[in-house]
Amino acid sequence: MTPKLPIPADILDLLPDAVCVVDQEGRYLFVSAGFERILGYRPADVLGRQAFDFIHPDDRSDTRQQAAQVMEGMAQRHFRNRYLHSEGHAVDMQWSANWHPAHGVRIGVGREVTELRRVERELEHLAAHDVLTGLPNRYRLQQTLEQALAQARASGDGLALLYVDLDGFKTANDLGGHDAGDRLLQDVATRLTQSLRHGDVAARVGGDEFVILLPACRDAAAARQVADTLRGQLRLVYRLSDRPFQLDASIGIACFPGDGSDAATLLAHADREMYAVKRRVTRGNAA
């Protein structure tokens, strides 16, 4: 028997990816079997309908822009968006697309990347957050602080940083061991975040050092009030190895723009102020 090639649609239906053909207005003319496997819609459910009806509402604007670029001759290779599955949940997709002016159609090949996107989000979170406490780390604080400074410059609002160092943390480690110290740091992180206003940010920047970002903080007096509240929350009595233990904290304050106009200067000023507070406390205890 002389072999014959099957029709292209039968070949395309074997692909795990979704193959779609839409007209100039974005109406589906063809979808492969992979489209139903990934998104749950049969061809009869979508043919003749606008592709944008099936795209997550938050991603429709970007997708329209990408479609316009494709039709201008700019082929897309790795564009991502989210579709709505027939059962209602979002599905992350990655598309390659091209416009065929001679036929008046746009062809797209998409694969599901939901699991890949989940892993990427986890890695993004790990890169920007402290593993032990879940708070933003120094890298994320730097990004957030730069954004807050840009906003403060534009609006004329103030901004403050509180540099928090735990007093007595080494003693806590000695009494209860590293596991108890870790639990103490986690508790501190919880107390800090629960004491802050919406929009304030607490970050862990070192072993027992934290930085609090207070956007739109009007002046040093307001920052001092927040610092006193935080110190009161941290000075509650803990129990380590069945013994009462009271933590304390030294807190340095830096305000924009009086104490610095950039992130590095503000952080350095708050750090110096924190050590000045610690020295005063140490001298007071010695006396």
Q: Would you state the pLDDT for residue 271?
A: 95
Q: How far is CA 225 from CA 191, 212, 279, in A?
A: 16, 13, 21
Q: Would you state the pLDDT for residue 22?
A: 96
Average pLDDT over residues 223-242: 86
Query: What is the maximum alpha-carbon separation in the chain?
Result: 104
Average pLDDT over residues 117-138: 95
Q: Mark whether 81 and 218 lie in a shared domain.
A: no
Cβ proximity of 23 and 105 under 8 Å: yes
Q: Mark whether 170 and 270 lie in a shared domain.
A: yes
% of the chain residues with pLDDT over 70? 97
Say what the alpha-carbon torsion angle 46, 49, 54, 55 is, to the nearest 10 degrees.
140
Q: Mark whether 171 and 198 lie in a shared domain.
A: yes
Q: Would you state the pLDDT for residue 244?
A: 76
Q: Mark whether 244 and 112 lie in a shared domain.
A: no
Q: Is 24 domain-assigned?
A: yes
Taking only the tens place, the pLDDT of each residue in 41-96 is 999 999 999 999 999 999 999 999 999 999 998 888 889 999 999 999 999 999 99
Q: Would you state the pLDDT for residue 283?
A: 66
pLDDT at 238 over 80: no
To which residue do tokens 């998104």 refer? 39
Q: Would you state the pLDDT for residue 209?
A: 95
Q: Mark whether 253 and 157 lie in a shared domain.
A: yes
Q: What is the CATH number of the domain that holds 134?
A: 3.30.70.270
Of 88, 118, 148, which closes a domain? 118
d(CA 208, CA 232): 17
pLDDT at 136 over 80: yes
Of 83, 118, 153, which closes a domain? 118
Q: Is 79 domain-assigned?
A: yes
Q: Mark whether 79 and 208 lie in a shared domain.
A: no
Q: Is 1 domain-assigned?
A: no
pLDDT at 135 over 90: yes
Q: Work out the mean pLDDT of the chain and round it to a whole number.
A: 91
Q: Is 148 domain-assigned?
A: yes
Q: Would you state the pLDDT for residue 79?
A: 94
Q: Is 135 domain-assigned?
A: yes
d(CA 263, CA 153): 13
Q: Mark whether 268 and 191 lie in a shared domain.
A: yes
Q: Mark whether 26 and 153 lie in a shared domain.
A: no
Q: Mark whether 141 and 254 lie in a shared domain.
A: yes
Taking only the tens place, the pLDDT of each residue in 188-218 is 999 999 999 899 999 999 989 999 999 999 8
User: In which band, very low, low, confident or very high, does the pLDDT at 285 lie, cut at 50, 70 and 90?
Assistant: low
pLDDT at 13 over 70: yes
Q: Would you state the pLDDT for residue 282?
A: 67
Average pLDDT over residues 241-261: 88
Q: What is the CATH number of the domain that holds 42?
A: 3.30.450.20
Of 118, 144, 177, which closes a domain? 118
Taking only the tens place, the pLDDT of each residue in 144-165 is 999 999 999 999 889 999 999 9
Q: Mark whether 227 and 91 lie in a shared domain.
A: no
Q: Mark whether 38 and 164 lie in a shared domain.
A: no
Q: What is the count of structural domains for the chain?
A: 2
Q: Which domain holds residue 65?
A: 8-118
Q: Mark whether 95 and 184 lie in a shared domain.
A: no
Q: Is the peptide bond before 57 cis (omega within 30 degrees of 0)?
A: no
Q: Is 210 domain-assigned?
A: yes
Burial category of 286 from C-beta neighbours within 10 Å (exposed 0-12, middle 13-18, buried 19 and up) = exposed
Q: Is 124 domain-assigned?
A: no
Q: Is 3 domain-assigned?
A: no
